[in-house]
Structure 1
Amino acid sequence: MQPAIVNQSHLVVSDANVSALGFPGPWREPTFTAAAKVRVGVTCCFFLIASCSNVAVLCSISGKRCKSHLRILILSLSVADLLVTLLVMPLDAMWNIMIQWYADELSCKILNFGKLFAMYSAALVLVVISLDRHWAILYPLSFTSAGQRNRIMLWTAWIGSLLLASPQLFLFRLRTVPGANFTQCATHGSFAQRWQETAYNMFTFCTLFVTPLGVMIVCYTRILWEIGKQMKHKNGEKGLEPKLARSKNDLISKARLKTLKMTLVIVVSFMVCWTPYYLLGIWYWFQPEMIHLTPEYIHHSLFLFGLLHTCTDPLVYGLYTPSFKEDLRTWFRRLGGLLTRKAKDSKPLADSEMNIKDFTSMDGPTTTATTVQSVF
């Protein structure tokens, strides 16, 4: 399996997969290694956690408990995380188990397109959220146009994700190792020269990680700079109302700052989770021999660390959103009540209870207090 970071859901499956597609090294029969087995197990755990938590967020924000322009941003982020969960994680796990590609070429193209589309959408929606917080804090008087502006940015993010991921439909194809019964879905042979493949990978790396991360850093740097400046201004001239408090009361300003903290933690988790993996990818693009120098478990661990981001987003949202916590408590109470009722219904009746039920069914319903007490 070709280990280009953007063309696969992971860097390396095994050295055999790399040498099979034209890289240096003798051909060896691929195996499902112990490190790959651990990766599959952790990926399945992440899949359960991310799918349940993001669905819970979607169900929670479906109620109109927050302002519409904020609700649609969190909704889009949860949908993007679910796409990563439902497309990237199962495909990665199955690919590690089967090692080679057993489906047809159309599935090869569509699944790899969908995988990159999911990763683009998750990154670009975070850019939209960062821009929204930038305008909300630095230009609070533009609050009335926030809803329309966010809808335009979200449409741009989703359409841009489709366009940026579309080359996968033309680059991926099935390749069979000469003289061996081994077929793989890869980009090998789609580029005339090595530098063209490196250029495409660098373009994807910049649009998928560097540019979104750069926009996020600029937005939050300006926000934090403005907050620090306004705090100094407030301490120096107490009679002058600070820019951040241009609202009807202090509660709205505190709500904005709380939302800012939440989105900032989400962006930081995105940076922390994915940066090591992409740095390893850069190393590979310019020094392909590194694949033989680094242990296999390092590649697996860094990719799993990147997937952890889809699990942290709902957790961060829950920590900063009281309504989500209340929804969880309500759902757990309902689930507990449902399980309790089912347990009571399936519990066999005692002999005394059966005698009383038989007695009431034969002679009509009883009305004495002693009978009612004995039943319940």
Structure 2
Amino acid sequence: MSGNWSILRLSPLAPPTSSVALLPNTSQFPPLSDWEAPSFTRAAQFRVAATLVLFLFAACSNLALLVSVWCGRGRQLASHLRPLMLSLVAADLMMTFVVMPLDAVWNITVQWYGGDVLCRLLCFLKLFAMHASAFILVVISLDRQHAILHPLDALSAHCRNRRMLLVAWSLSLLLASPQLFIFRAVRVEAVDFTQCATHGSFGHRWQETVYNMFHFTTLYIIPLLVMSCCYSRILLHIHQQHLRDKAGESYLRRSGTDIIPKARMKTLKMTVVIVLSFVVCWTPYYLLGIWYWFQPDMVHVTPEYIHHALFVFGNLNTCCDPVIYGFYMPSFRADLAACCHRTTSNASPLSPEQFSGRQGHHSGKLHPATNNQARN
């Protein structure tokens, strides 16, 4: 391929891949000459296989987490924490059922067969899911900051979190809406090739770069700054409390022995790890995107499998959240254990004698207590 290339992906943030159609001079509508249709390369095949594996794991784990928080032992979470976890799971499920299968199918088909309306809608849904995932992590960070710095203000946490979640989802909807207008199904008559692209939506390349940088800022830079500020203030507060403790000053501590109650500290650790997984998984992907926006020729310098691997690594973040939640919250592990036990029992029916014996064995036992959930 030659000429002034622009990557045509689901969102304006994806790095270039040779398995997806590239069109010259995306800023205008010139005749598409000297152009070669892409192919389903081996690197793209690896991307599809890895994406499908992540899809299966993310779908099962996030659906299990949704059931646990919605109607399982996860209902024991504090009332202001449940909406946060449900929103995070909803955003992860959108990433799982919109972004992953669409990316895999599009890499297999190479060109676009969904028509103009589906092109606009799915490009919108992908960016909407990405914004929602980032903004909900911001809401969780703000909630943890308020819980640690103002522990006596717990009564207003429920209403405050609902308002912040409403703002997060509304902003995600608003910021993703331009995708409905800049993406369209573009057909190359000379080679009978159709692609979902931004071809012709920008008058100059710098305009497209500004659009990409704007979404990079709202998707990554601003959330990262807010989350860093929140957890920096939390660490500073904990450090100051330690200094007061050493100086022998008296201050209010709910646990009597700890600076922060154990349940609240467990939730804090969980949210810190969730945020770190977001940063670790998506940072290489966004850095590659920035490199491409300002130096488009890098597509010819870096190996194709790197572009694919970094996108797959970013999708790994969707699988991390339920694993992290399960590590810190025994309610989720208990629900999974109960589900596995029921599945095993149904798969291997017992005889009447065995059934009677098992009933007698368990009749005096209760389910493991799971009341040690984070309440703050």
For 1:4 and 1:199, the matched residues in 2 are separated by 16
Matched-pair identity in %: 54
1:18 to 15, 22, 26: 22
- State the Cα deviation string for residues 343-374 of structure 1 (Å, max 9, x = none): x8xxxxxxxxxxxxxxxxxxxxxxxxxxxxxx
Conserved? CA contact 2:11–2:126, under 8 Å: no
Equivalent residue, structure 2, for 1:230: 241
Distance apart, 1:17 and its partner CA: 2.2
Equivalent residue, structure 2, for 1:336: 344
Match runs of 1:32-181 below 5 Å: 32-62=40-70, 63=72, 64-181=75-192
Equivalent residue, structure 2, for 1:306: 314
Task: Provide the alpha-carbon RMSD of the alignment.
Answer: 2.3
Mark the CA change 1:17 to 1:6 in structure 2 (over 3 Å): closer, same or farther: closer
Which residue identity does 1:339 align to in structure 2?
A
Which residue identity does 1:17 align to in structure 2?
A
For 1:164 and 1:263, the matched residues in 2 are separated by 25
Equivalent residue, structure 2, for 1:7: 11
Report how many residues are paired.
Answer: 341
Matched, 1:287 2:291: no
Question: Secondary structure of the equivalent of 1:183?
Answer: strand
Mark the CA change 1:96 to 1:203 in structure 2 (over 3 Å): closer, same or farther: same
Equivalent residue, structure 2, for 1:240: 250
Distance apart, 1:33 and its partner CA: 0.5
Conserved? CA contact 2:26–2:202, under 8 Å: no
For 1:249 and 1:72, the matched residues in 2 are separated by 30
Mark the CA change 1:331 to 1:198 in structure 2 (over 3 Å): closer, same or farther: same
Mark the CA change 1:178 to 1:290 in structure 2 (over 3 Å): closer, same or farther: farther
Conserved? CA contact 2:148–2:260, under 8 Å: no
For 1:33 and 1:134, the matched residues in 2 are separated by 47
Distance apart, 1:70 and its partner CA: 0.8
2:265 to 257, 261, 272: 257
Distance apart, 1:240 and its partner CA: 1.1
For 1:14 and 1:32, the matched residues in 2 are separated by 8
Distance apart, 1:13 and its partner CA: 3.1
Moved more, 252-261 or 287-296: 252-261
Which residue identity does 1:43 align to in structure 2?
T
Distance apart, 1:178 and its partner CA: 4.7
Distance apart, 1:218 and its partner CA: 0.5
Which residue identity does 2:87 align to in structure 1?
S
Equivalent residue, structure 1, for 2:329: 321
Which structure: larger Rg?
Answer: 1
Matched, 1:274 2:278: no
Conserved? CA contact 1:6–1:205, under 8 Å: no
For 1:257 and 1:154, the matched residues in 2 are separated by 22
Question: Secondary structure of the equivalent of 1:69?
Answer: coil
Conserved? CA contact 1:43–1:304, under 8 Å: yes
Distance apart, 1:275 and its partner CA: 0.5
Mark the CA change 1:5 to 1:96 in structure 2 (over 3 Å): closer, same or farther: closer
Equivalent residue, structure 2, for 1:351: none
Distance apart, 1:9 and its partner CA: 7.3
- State the Cα deviation string for residues 137-175 of structure 1 (Å, max 9, x = none): 011111110000000000111111100100000000111
For 2:255 and 2:161, the matched residues in 1 are separated by 21
Question: Secondary structure of the equivalent of 2:185?
Answer: strand
For 1:111 and 1:218, the matched residues in 2 are separated by 33
Conserved? CA contact 1:277–1:302, under 8 Å: yes
Equivalent residue, structure 2, for 1:357: none
Question: Secondary structure of the equivalent of 2:196?
Answer: strand
Conserved? CA contact 1:77–1:122, under 8 Å: yes
Equivalent residue, structure 2, for 1:198: 209
For 1:327 and 1:92, the matched residues in 2 are separated by 32
For 2:271 and 2:260, the matched residues in 1 are separated by 17
Distance apart, 1:8 and its partner CA: 5.2
Please report the TM-score for the alignment, with normalisation by the length of structure 1. 0.86
Conserved? CA contact 2:16–2:292, under 8 Å: no
For 2:112 and 2:6, the matched residues in 1 are separated by 12
For 1:334 and 1:16, the matched residues in 2 are separated by 45
Which residue identity does 1:40 align to in structure 2?
V
Conserved? CA contact 2:8–2:196, under 8 Å: no
For 1:91 and 1:9, the matched residues in 2 are separated by 16
Which residue identity does 1:231 align to in structure 2?
H
Which residue identity does 2:275 align to in structure 1?
V
Question: Secondary structure of the equivalent of 1:57?
Answer: helix
For 1:10 and 1:40, the matched residues in 2 are separated by 15
Which residue identity does 2:45 align to in structure 1?
K
